Amino acid sequence: MNLSNINLLKTDSYINGEWVKSPDQKTFNVINPFTNEEIARVSEASKSQVEEAIKHAEDAFKIWRKFTAGKRSRILKKWYKLQLDNAQDLAHILTIEQGKPLNEALGEIKYGASFVEWFAEEAKRNYGDTIPGHARDKRIVTIKQPIGVVGAITPWNFPSAMITRKVAPALAAGCTVVIKPSELTPLSALALAQLAEEAGFPPGVINVVVSSNAAEVGETLCASSTVRKLSFTGSTRVGKILLKQCADTVKKVSLELGGNAPFIVFDDADLDKAVEGAVASKYRNAGQTCICSNRIFVQEKIYEDFLEKYTAAVAKQKTGNGLHDGTVIGPMIQEKAVQFVEDIVQDAQSKGGVILTGGQRQSADSLMFEPTVIANATTDMKVFSNEIFGPVAPVFKFETEAEVIALANDTPYGLASYFYGRDYARIWRVAEALEYGMVGINTGMISTTVAPFGGIKESGFGREGSKYGMDDYLEIKYMCWGGVE
């Protein structure tokens, strides 16, 4: 692996400021999804090491919470600067273990770092209130205090940004963290831990436990009464399990789960802009994001015109090795992900769907799946009800506004949604009617540090980013002062 800073390549867990190996010398492989070659062998954290990390985080919390907001802010800003200074190496590690194109990986590193910068500033704005009292001799004050030790379980599709989006507000609030990254992409998390050490975080404030036994680590974090907050990004199925496991200790929980995003194109839309937005939204990270357009709905009058332009644009997307110049779409993460996409494409074809481009993997032993467009999509197909999580775009036809709103909302998920149109009255109606936590209007790209990211229904709860991103890591304490006369 060609890195300018070879210290960023770590293969052990990071606990209490030390790099620790598995007590029984167990390891697991990290595989490059494009070449299917082993990148590294990573130490397997034991359950006792996870418990040790929690204990050290508890001890460190007693120290870190007493740092002034300004001091925490300065350390966070050092971490931010180190991420930018090492952005090329971090992007290289990310591409090697996750597969996304290098330019896209670099974009993720900068996006992830922006959360650290943002919450370094928000640390100094953790305001309380004074409230008019209910009696002449009473005074009411509220303050906000850090919740305590935070468990953060992060996914493989954004192995850097999903860590910083959770960890930066937790640290800014005065919490300490135990991070469990995906076993498919642990190297990005460990590289961030190395930079955190260089930034000057005290031992135990940031801990990273790497393990291929995600269920055991998750259960340990949930069962611990010391861990007062769990933040998870991943599938709805796993999120429900973790939520149940957190019930016994009544933890504060935030969940960013699956999605089934509609992308609606009304007949008064700027068609070229809609095509551009749909390509960007659908095929970023090979379609492996929770806010990717999952179902594209196009009004009947412009359906054929949209399909022609959209298919032409999709067919131009260059696939291949993420390290090669010009690559726009990299491999899918693993074999079972490709098999799932193959199944839903075959299901669509069997029910009348027409493949306009793509439709298959590039070779029998490859994790590269061709960017695909399916015309004549219908609601009885798996592509309507399932989160696709791959480079496959089913295109549905609709007639009326009421019809498409009903179709768009016909899902248990409620994360992201998109639509294009010019009628301002309709824009307001549709934006209000869509049952989603986020709505992109005449844009296919909505992720930004300054806006609250999160969903409703079975897509979870809690918000990350923006001024609201600190809330889940703070407790409000009410103090009533009597005898003030």
- Verify that 415 and 470 share a domain, yes or no: no
256 catalytically annotated: yes
What's the confidence (pLDDT) of residue 64? 98
Is residue 483 domain-resident? no
Q: Is 54:224 a contact under the CB 8 Å cutoff?
A: yes
pLDDT greater than 90 at residue 365: no
Across-strand partners of 256? 233, 460
- Which of these is catalytic: 290, 292, 387, 458? 290
Quote the number of domains for the chain. 2
- Verify that 170 and 286 share a domain, yes or no: no
- Verify that 281 and 247 share a domain, yes or no: no
Residue numbers of the domain that contains 315: 261-448
Q: What percent of the chain has pLDDT over 70?
A: 100
Is residue 453 domain-resident? no
- Verify that 419 and 473 share a domain, yes or no: no
- Verify that 281 and 171 share a domain, yes or no: no
What's the confidence (pLDDT) of residue 414? 98
Is residue 485 domain-resident? no
- Verify that 267 and 408 share a domain, yes or no: yes
What's the confidence (pLDDT) of residue 2? 87
- Verify that 187 and 270 share a domain, yes or no: no
pLDDT in tens, 57-69: 999 999 999 999 9
Residues 462-471: what's their mean pLDDT? Answer: 96
Is residue 296 domain-resident? yes
pLDDT in tens, 98-140: 999 999 999 999 999 999 999 999 999 999 999 999 999 999 9
480 catalytically annotated: no
pLDDT greater than 90 at residue 485: no
- Verify that 138 and 183 share a domain, yes or no: yes
pTM above 0.85, yes or no: yes
What's the confidence (pLDDT) of residue 300? 98
pLDDT in tens, 33-60: 999 999 999 999 999 999 999 999 999 9
What's the confidence (pLDDT) of residue 198? 98
Task: Count CB atoms within 10 A of the CB of residue 93.
Answer: 28
- Verify that 414 and 470 share a domain, yes or no: no
- Verify that 251 and 309 share a domain, yes or no: no
- Verify that 469 and 410 share a domain, yes or no: no
Is residue 371 domain-resident? yes
How far apart, in whole angstroms, are the C-alpha atoms of residue 281 and residue 279? 6
pLDDT in tens, 276-286: 999 999 999 99
pLDDT greater than 90 at residue 364: no
- Which of these is catalytic: 44, 183, 197, 256? 256
